[in-house]
Structure 1
């Protein structure tokens, strides 16, 4: 008899955890499992890559309500004679504007205010999996019936005592907590040492055959540029280190190197980044491409992949660049040495613009080093599809 599984994640926007989940779902044995997928935001670009065997659940009532304009949400509340959702929406909107909150704080505030109007999942599952920390973790813990619950943690983050107390009441309900790298596990255990017995490590799963095929089925750059192409993939957010990237880009321009630095991603810093580009006349050098469901043609046709992150749970885009034999320059974030060997499959540099700039220049100017890195990448082990066996073991 097939086991019933539920996966829950915020959305299927283009990001590491989301791409990892889509890859995992593409590898599941659907002769053994039926799979439901809960999303808290619908219509994101990676949904088109979800296997047809996966049942994407209908949006929560609050998810639909939150998409309404304020005028329409008021009409809906009057018509239904129920103002609970409107009240929750207004309270959250007011609270979140008071100051700048961290992602764990935002998730906690959202759930404390909105959870009372979020309906329970009516099914009972053999295994329910929250595939991201925050709201998916709270939802699966509080709103889902399952014989076993697994919580994924795909970001390296530390919590203060208040956040720890709030989050622990949900993590206590999970049978296992899965970190996507050894360093992510170590950092999480600094906050939750009592969870050491139920912590597991399963790396973000990547399938080299899938990536290789996807890299050849779509077009990439269409600007006819024939200089050095640099590429970064990541949400336009502080933790991705775009301040470092922009300053390094400015230094590259001043050095006279003929290059373009492309970025795949969207996020809250877009306006700020665009302003910096304009003020420093980098329009021809730092190019925002938005999001694409298939980033792999861009990676394959880049000369160097750049990661300027200040924190990563694993660094899936780096793994994808490695699988397509593209040399990497990356900052020394917590989890970087889980996959990088400095000087062998790329360069690991300090977390500042000067170091990133010097790493890029070194790869551009040193043909022997670049060719040796590419040769190493061509012989390096590709992918980690065996990681799915660890999931099957946890499912039981």
Structure 2
């Protein structure tokens, strides 16, 4: 009989219980011998599962001691202890993922490898469950779920170690396009809980709130060429000439940032632009933004902007005419927002 393993964190702050049960049922094969390994023991969650699922010791049960004993398999006797994962580590995956990687390195030496060889193993939560699947499980096929959009620096530890038969499921069309463009084994799935998860995640970070009378714009810091930079500067100058108070927020890193900053200084626009850096949780910035402007698909949150019903300006579908007139879509959206906010 086919053996399938689910690995997940029932206390994942980005996923509701209903969402997690939905993911389980999405992958559940009634003809398979199914096993479940949680990050921490959760009796209330286990009560809601199919009784035919085999429940394994949680990942948090680590080896506390080992001694030779000929009466035990392989001549060793192991003692286990529970080390519950703190809530701030769970939150850190969405805000400061490097902390989670370091935490996994710290505890992984005490986490025993799986003694069962599975036909298929699936992590339904990202973070520590996906690291456990990557490092501690033997399976013919490994499947990694990313229920919420993650950027390259977060996904890289998993993406870079995919075997030929492994693949990733993502509920974000933005993430799917980015991974697909890099020829990775990725599949998109429509998730009815995606909107809910975005709101759960954006509440995990106390991002700086924008001034309520100020037009707030969000973009990825991925202006790749001179044309993009010129378009951005021209649009900013337009807002200044219109006496429109605004803040343009750029997330992520860009090798052209020095050039952009020089242009901003030349046109005296420094006070209107904020580079928020390479952060993982950009969704609160998106939630408070008035408009999302996109030049490139790399590091895009286009799908997330649609999900949160934000006005979008896709510069690949907009253009300046020979007289350098601003794109019509840009002007229409800005005027509409100014009217609503009474700037």
TM-score (normalised: structure 2): 0.48
Higher strand fraction (1 or 2): 2
TM-score (normalised: structure 1): 0.43
Larger radius of gyration: 2
Higher helix fraction (1 or 2): 1
